[in-house]
Amino acid sequence: MLFTGETGNQYGYQDEWIDLQTYGYCGEGQAGDQELVRGNWAIADRSPDIHLFKILKDGFVEYVHQMFYADHFYKQGVDKLGKERDLVIFKLRKYRSEHLQEALAAKRRGLGQT
């Protein structure tokens, strides 16, 4: 399960929809450069079994969609201390059964397998 919401902005997270099917999910780590380790590695490893939830202002959560890891990239951002850093941004796509082969291929790429 992954959680997103506006409260993440104060910690340097920058989650947003890239297009109608793809969500840019910022990796974990509030200070310093983010790397593809621990929880960030698990996002690629658990694909396509990723469920995205949005934290609402009233404290409730809303189910968004089942997602799968499609790719990731790095971009510049600011950490919770106001310092420049590299962010890992995961491209998570909405999952449908016809995406199974694409999801498994992306998982292999993300884990460095061919």
CATH code assigned at 19: 2.30.280.10
Domains of the chain: total: 1
pTM, two decimal places: 0.77
Does residue 48 contact residue 66 with C-beta atoms inside 8 Å?
yes
Q: Which residue range(s) make up the domain with 55?
A: 2-110
Q: How many CA atoms lie within 13 A of 74 on its CB side?
A: 8
pLDDT value at residue 51: 93
CA dihedral sign of residues 4, 21, 33, 49: positive
CA distance 31 to 52: 23
- Regions of the chain where pLDDT drops below 70: 47-48, 97-104, 107, 110-114
